[in-house]
Amino acid sequence: AKRALDVEWARYVVVEVTDTLCKDAGELAERYALRGYDSVHLASFLEVARQTGVADTEFSSFDDRLNVAARRAARALTRSARH
């Protein structure tokens, strides 16, 4: 299992929790009525989406509210990237 993780690890994108990411998370928490760490999860996803392109980025959670927020936020990011 560890060997498989070591192989897969190179495909992961590491997102640092910066002041900007925390501020973005706070805004997302208010906009989508998310809990604290859920908003950090979403802000991290959006940061990866900005870096790699929304079409190439998938979001997954067992929390339906968070999944809905991610879809809405990704659509907003796509719209802003077009303009």
Q: Determine the Cα–Cα distance for residues 2 and 23; give it in Å rounded to an integer.
A: 35
Asked whether residue 1 is domain-assigned, the answer is no
Please give the Cα distance from 50 to 10 (Å, whole number): 19
> How many structural domains comprise the chain?
1
User: Would you say residue 5 has pLDDT above 80?
Assistant: yes
pLDDT at 35: 95
Domain with 68 in it: 16-82
The structure tokens 């990237």 sit at 81
> How far is residue 78's CA from residue 72's CA, in Å, rounded to a whole number?
10
Report the distance separating Cα 25 and Cα 62, nearest Å: 19
Q: Does 51 map to a domain?
A: yes
Query: Residue 77: inside a domain, yes or no?
Result: yes
What is the model's pTM?
Answer: 0.82
Residue 9 in any domain: the answer is no
Q: Give the pLDDT mean for 24-49.
A: 96
Tokens of 13: 């994108």
Instruction: Supply 79's token pair.
Output: 């719209």
- Kindly tell me if the per-residue pLDDT of 62 is higher than 90: yes
Mean pLDDT score, 66-76: 93
